[in-house]
Amino acid sequence: MSTYRGLKVDETRTGLAGFNLARHVHDLPERVEQHRLQLQHDLKLERQPFWLNQTHSTTLLNLPEEANLRSADGSYTRALNWPCVVMTADCLPILFCNTSGTQVAAVHAGWQGLSNGIVSKAVAKFADPASILVWMGPAIGPGAFEVGPDVLAAFDIDPSHVPQEFTPVNTKPNKWMGNLYALARKELAELGVTQVFGGEHCTLSDSDHFYSHRRDPQSGRMASLIWII
């Protein structure tokens, strides 16, 4: 499993700084394709990762059976050399595998996906939750993710009884700091998944290493991927 960020480069011509892997942002198409080929080369992949058209849904594709589809926010496979990938720039990428290395999944889990149950859909793909290993990639951190009542409502939370995953902002009424990592860990624990790793970065505050849509609406996208070899 891997999160591919690349490094910032000298921008002597038009295009996004860094190693953007998304086609849907304002970058030069030929640069994006070059980056995707470079990723495949660097990670010694037999084929390109299965790039998704992400829409903040809870759709999870089975590969290679549903390789004719693209609109989804996660993918799952038992097949060799089918890299599952999600792109992010503040949302939470979550990678799954079982301890025997025969099943993997990648999920794009922003607050919409988390609140609507994409994590539980991914866990349901595995026979035994206790056998699942989870890695959470770089996302917006709990000190930077300011949210309003709409996000609490999405998680069915009463503003007068806010759980520890949300911290009130004292200087701003009806504002809270949300913790995507803690929300994901809580749901995973409730589902019986206890081997959870990662979750220590903040994409918004670390501009040297990560893209962040909140920091820069014109941001590129990073890729987190996992595959069976």
102 pLDDT exceeds 90?
Answer: yes
Contact 213, 219 (CB under 8 A): yes
- Determine the Cα–Cα distance for residues 148 and 151; give it in Å rounded to an integer: 6
Q: Hey, where are the domains in the chain?
A: 2-141+179-226
Mean pLDDT of 96-117: 98
Token readout for 121 is 């859909």
Q: What is the CATH number of domain 2-141+179-226?
A: 3.60.140.10
pLDDT digits (tens, 9 = 90+) for 193-221: 999 999 999 999 999 999 999 999 999 99
Q: Any idea what the Cα angle at residue 77 is, between residues 134 and 33, rounded to 5°?
A: 90
pLDDT, one tens digit per residue, over 39-94 is 999 999 999 999 999 999 999 999 999 999 999 999 999 999 999 999 999 999 99
Tokens of 151: 């996000």
Per-residue confidence at 9, pLDDT binned at 50, 70, 90? very low
Which amino acid type is present at position 83?
Answer: P
9 or 217: which carries more pLDDT confidence? Answer: 217
pLDDT at 15 over 80: no
pLDDT of residue 11: 38
DSSP state of 178: E
What are the CA-CA distances from residue 225 to residues 39, 76, 97, 136, 140 (Å)? 11, 11, 11, 11, 18
Read off the amino acid at residue 81: N
pLDDT of residue 219: 95
Contact 199, 185 (CB under 8 A): yes
| pTM of this structure | 0.93
